[in-house]
Structure 1
Amino acid sequence: MRRAIALARTRVGLTAENPAVGCVIVRDGVVVGEGVTGEGGRPHGEEVALDGAADLARGATAYVTLEPCGQRSSGGLSCSERLVAAGVLRVVVACSDSSIYADGEGSRRLQAAGVAVDHGLMQAEAEALYAAYRPAKSLESRR
């Protein structure tokens, strides 16, 4: 998680309305993929890490600084869906995301698919990254 937080820190303030999320994928004690949200907010950190890990993500653990999204504003696959499709077995989340695109939905989707989800590892450090992040609380607030 320490590496995921370090990655996220490099993009704070550069990801527009989206938060800067770091993700590190570990399999058998080896980092097989890592990523951070792109400048302007796309791609998401989990997407970058999954692309880097490719098939090595199957059976791995993903360490993510902020809860993976449960849905996408663009309508594409959410990060939680991508993690499930990649075969990740465990997701460790530093802190929750109260955005309408996450707010527990990402964690619930992962758990429903049989993925173990742990919350709170290095939570205070991750929350400090998101002090200025003000997620949309409802679809009405996005208009």
Structure 2
Amino acid sequence: MQRALELAAPGAGRTGDNPSVGCVIVKDGVIVGEGATALGGRPHAEEVALAQAGEKARGAVAYVTLEPCAKRSTGAASCSEILIQHGIAHAFIAVGDPHPLVAGAGAERLRAAGVLVDVGLMGEQARALNAAFFAQWD
């Protein structure tokens, strides 16, 4: 998760309406994909990391600094959906997303698909990274 936070840090305040998120995909103890939310907010961190990981994502662990989205304003597949499609087995999420389009729905979608989900790893640091984003929903 520390690496995911490091990836997200440079984008803080530079991702439009979206928070800056980091995602690291690990398979058998090796990083196979990593990414951060692009400047302007698209693509999302999970999309970047999964594109890099490719088939190596199947059965892997994802470390994400913010709960993966459950719905996209663009109508594209959500990050929780693409994590499932790529076969992620376990997701560590630093902090839940307070946005009304997510607010627990991303983690629930992962769980419903059989993905192990743990929330809270380095949550304080992830929340601090996107303090302005959280302030608008608190």
> Normalising by structure 1, what TM-score?
0.93
Aligned to 1:92: 92
Matches within 5 A, 1:3-22: 3-22=3-22
Which 4+ runs in 1 deviate beyond 3 A? 134-137
Whole-angstrom CA distance in 1 between matches of 2:42 and 2:134: 17
Matches within 5 A, 1:116-135: 116-134=116-134
Aligned to 2:71: 71
Q: Which moved more, 1:123-132 or 1:49-58?
A: 123-132
**Deviation sequence 1:45-98 (CA, Å, 0-9, x none):** 000000000000000000000000001011110000000000000000000111
Count of residue correspondences: 137
Contact 1:99 1:135 in 2 (8 A): no
3-state DSSP of counterpart to 2:11: coil
CA displacement at 1:101 relative to structure 2: 2.3
Aligned to 2:114: 114
Contact 2:127 2:134 in 1 (8 A): no
Structure 1, gaps ≥5 residues long = 138-143
Whole-angstrom CA distance in 1 between matches of 2:135 and 2:53: 29
Whole-angstrom CA distance in 2 between matches of 1:100 and 1:75: 16
Whole-angstrom CA distance in 1 between matches of 2:101 and 2:78: 9
Partner amino acid for 2:93? Answer: V
> Normalising by structure 2, what TM-score?
0.96
CA displacement at 1:21 relative to structure 2: 0.4
Contact 1:47 1:82 in 2 (8 A): yes
Whole-angstrom CA distance in 2 between matches of 1:85 and 1:47: 12
Whole-angstrom CA distance in 2 between matches of 1:82 and 1:38: 17
Whole-angstrom CA distance in 1 between matches of 2:29 and 2:4: 15
